[in-house]
Amino acid sequence: MKIFRNKFILMPLALLFYVLIMFIIETPFIDFTKALFHYDYFVALINVSNPLSLFYEQANNYLVALNVFLESFIYTIVFLGLFLLLYYFIKNDLDIFLKQKTKYWRIILISFAIYYVTNFIVNILTILLQLLFNSTPVSQNQASLESLINFDFYGLMMFFPIVLIGPLVEELIFRKCFFSLIPNKILAFILNCLCFGLLHTISYSYNWSDLLIVTIPYCCAGIAFSYCYMKTNNVFASYLLHALLNFISYFLIITTNLGGI
């Protein structure tokens, strides 16, 4: 049926589904689940326990396991919904990618280099902004993920949402949907970089200057992903770039935490 191939129907539905889950349902669902499993009770007990005690370790593992489950569950639900809505476009991109993967890998590597060049420039800009506003905010999104990643079962489970599912969900939304629905590619490029950056920071409590400082690095990543998609018009090219960069970050966090044990 043509309706299952109509991007002007299915992609807006995909965007609405994503917003519904990630910005409306996610918070009350997480709060309900944490209340159901007495999350705050264990947090309170940990705060008054000896960090070296067996109880502290067990309670901490319990909280980490619950957070990892929630992170994986939310992204799995979003992915399944997007897969059903965008199946035709996903299959079409995969077929094309497999036929032209040699050409696409060259663009992926160029985009990889663009990411690190822009990242270097952005790091300088971030330092200047920190000096200007006399503030050194920490990315709460990055910190929350790092707290869940360690060289144990639960840390390894985070590989699923961070490297496998998360990048594909974000590429389907920010690259596939944005560039397919917005005719002006420059406008699509700007909007998706901005929205991609804010996605990772806007839900946390920052003042405007701190929000600017922590958002810019994520927008920088959006530049590389957008370039990769614009050059290939294929979501699997930008997905592989995204997954590769997330894997590098994931690996560095795991090895850093392992070295600290």
Q: Which amino acid is at 142?
A: Q
Instruction: Provide the pLDDT for residue 200.
Output: 86
pLDDT reading at 251 higher than 70: yes
Rounded CA separation 158/145 (Å): 9
Q: Provide the whole-model pTM.
A: 0.92
Maximum C-alpha span of the chain = 62
Per-residue pLDDT tens over the stretch 179-195: 999 999 999 999 999 99
What is the predicted pLDDT for the residue at 151? 58
Using CA atoms in the order 102, 103, 104, 108, what is the torsion angle rounded to 10 degrees? 100
Structure tokens at 121: 């420039």
Q: Which residues contact 45 (CB under 8 A, 6 or more apart)?
A: 55, 59
Provide the b/e sequence for 224-238 (b: ≥16 CB within 10 Å): bbbbbbbbbebbbbb
- Dihedral of the alpha carbons of 196, 200, 206, 209, in degrees to the nearest 10: -40
Model pLDDT for residues 197-207, shown as the tens digit of each residue? 998 888 778 88
